[in-house]
Structure 1
Amino acid sequence: MKHILALVTLALLSVTTYAHNPNAEPPTKKMKATTSVQHIVLFKFKPETTPEKLKEIVAAFEALPSKIKEIKDLKWGLNNSPEDHAHGLTHAFILTFDSVKDRDAYLPHPAHKAFGTIVGPWIADLTVVDFANQGK
C-alpha cells in the first residue's frame, strides 16, 4: 500500500510541477525524418462534371493501388474546410510511397496514365504537392 501511495504522490507531483511552471516545455512526440513520400493531389472539376462522372473518377483513383505496387496507401476525401482558401478544389487524394524512387515509378506507370485519360477532360484545376517528412 505504501508503494502505491508513493507512486501516486510522485505522479501528482510531476503533473503539478509542469502545470505550475510556465517555462516548462510540454512533452512532445519526436518526429523522425523518413524516406516515405506523400503525394497530395487536389482537384477542381469543371461545372459540367456530373455526380456519376465524379463517382467513376473516384473509383478509378481508388483502383490504382491494386494496379501499382509502389502505392503503399491511399486516402481521399471531399474538402470540408470552413476557411475560404480552397480556390474551388473539392477532392483531395493522398498517396503514400516508400521512397522517391517508388513515387517516380508511379508517375509514368501505364495505370496512372490511363487514370489521367479518365480524369483529364473533367479537370478545371489541379494542384500536386509531394513531400517527405523532414522531422526534427
Structure 2
Amino acid sequence: MEKAKEFVRRVLLFKFKAETAPDLVEQLIKDSSNLVSLVESLKSWHMGKDASIENLNESFTHVFELTFEDAKGIAAYMVHPAHLEFHDRICPHLEKIVVIDYKPTPFHT
C-alpha cells in the first residue's frame, strides 16, 4: 500500500505599517496570489482579512494559508526567484509578521 502524501501548510499573519496605503496593500495581496502560478511547489494559496469580533488579533489584519506537498516544497519556495522578489517588495511595508508551518494532523476521538 502506498503511503499517503503528507502536505504541509504555511500560515502567515501580516501587520502592515500604518503608513502603507490601502491600495498598495491590495496590490501586494494581488501580487502574492500570483505566486501560486509561478512557484511549482506552492499548491494552493488562500487569504482573508481579520473579521473577529473579539479584538484579539494583536493588530494583525491579514492571514494567508499556503499549501505545499512537503517540507522540501517550502524550501524550494523560499529560494524561488518569484518569492524572493515579492519578499523584497512586501517587507518594507510590514510592521510585523508571524509564520507557522504545520502538517495537518487528523484527530479522532
The TM-score normalised by the length of structure 1 is 0.72
SS in 1 for 2:63: strand
Q: Which residue of 1 aligns with 2:64?
A: 93
1:104 to 52, 75, 81: 75
Return the offset for 1:34. Answer: 5.8
**Which residue identity lines up with residue 107 of structure 1 in the other structure?**
M
The structure richer in helix per residue is 1
- Scaled by the length of structure 2, the TM-score of the pair is 0.89
Question: Does residue 70 of structure 1 match 2:41?
Answer: yes
- Per-residue deviation, residues 5-29 of structure 1 (Å, max 9, x unmatched): xxxxxxxxxxxxxxxxxxxxxxxxx
Count of aligned residue pairs for this structure pair: 104
The root-mean-square deviation of aligned C-alpha atoms, in Å, is: 1.3
Residues 1-136 of structure 1: pairs in structure 2 closer than 5 A: 35-136=6-107
Q: Which has the larger radius of gyration?
A: 1
Q: Percent identity?
A: 32
Unmatched runs of 5 consecutive residues or more in structure 1: 1-32
> Gapped runs of 5+ residues in structure 2?
none
Give the number of the structure whose residues are more often strand, by fraction. Answer: 2
